[in-house]
């Protein structure tokens, strides 16, 4: 049993990171009561398609707001001894054909739109876990995307935490490991 807290889009609409952190801390207390050690949230993909079935889980169409809100949520969760898991890294903005879709994105759009929120959340809150997305990014499944995981997340941003695939990822496990991912779920 747990409380149905407001969705991320509603929390982000407040522009209030303190409320986001307090709400996440309350949820983390419930996670601990239910003996969970990891909460698979926050999801901070960008609202790019109004038909995306999971937009309610995402904060905004703006990467700055998404990053700031996600950082607050991570701080709130981890303040209660629960691991936060930011997801879906990266460019997961639709549900239709999400296992096979390939997000073809320029370097500039990738950095300014799709990765900026993740970068803010990771640098400001140090989440213990990052979950990759199902989709391909520029021809490579996210968990096995060396440039994304090893190049940007690990080397450029200095992330040393756990990187896991989403459940049932179509990526190859050995490629995940070579790219810097830790666990292929389930």
Q: CA-CA distances (angstroms) from residue 36 to 3, 26, 152, 157?
A: 15, 14, 30, 28
Residue 27: closest CA among 16, 15, 17, 40: 40
Catalytic residue among 62, 155, 166, 176: 166
Q: Catalytic site residue 166?
A: yes
Separation of CA 55 from chain center: 13
Half-sphere exposure of 104 (CA within 13 A, CB side): 0
Transcribe 84-102 into DSSP letters. Answer: EEEEEETT----TTTTT-E
Q: Are 47 and 60 in contact (CB under 8 A)?
A: yes
Give the separation between CA 38 and CA 50, rounded to whole angstroms. 29
Give the separation between CA 97 and CA 107, rounded to whole angstroms. 23
Q: Which residues are catalytic?
A: 166
């Amino acid at each position: 049993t747990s409380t149905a807290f407001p969705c991320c889009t509603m929390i982000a609409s407040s522009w209030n990171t303190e409320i986001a952190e307090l709400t996440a801390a309350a949820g983390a207390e419930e996670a601990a009561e239910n003996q969970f050690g990891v909460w698979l949230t926050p999801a901070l993909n960008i609202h790019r398609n109004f038909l995306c079935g999971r937009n309610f889980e995402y904060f905004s169409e703006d990467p700055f707001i998404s990053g700031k809100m996600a950082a607050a949520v991570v701080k709130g969760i981890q303040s209660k001894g629960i691991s936060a898991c930011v997801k879906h890294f990266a460019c997961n903005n639709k549900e239709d054909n999400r296992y096979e879709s390939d997000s073809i994105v320029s370097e500039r759009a990738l950095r300014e739109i799709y990765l900026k929120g993740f970068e803010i959340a990771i640098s400001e809150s140090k989440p213990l876990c990052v979950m990759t997305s199902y989709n391909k990014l520029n021809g490579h499944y996210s968990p096995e995307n060396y440039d994304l995981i090893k190049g940007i997340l690990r080397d450029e941003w200095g992330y040393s935490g756990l990187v896991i695939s989403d459940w049932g990822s179509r990526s190859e496990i050995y490629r995940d490991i070579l790219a810097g991912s830790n666990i292929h779920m389930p």
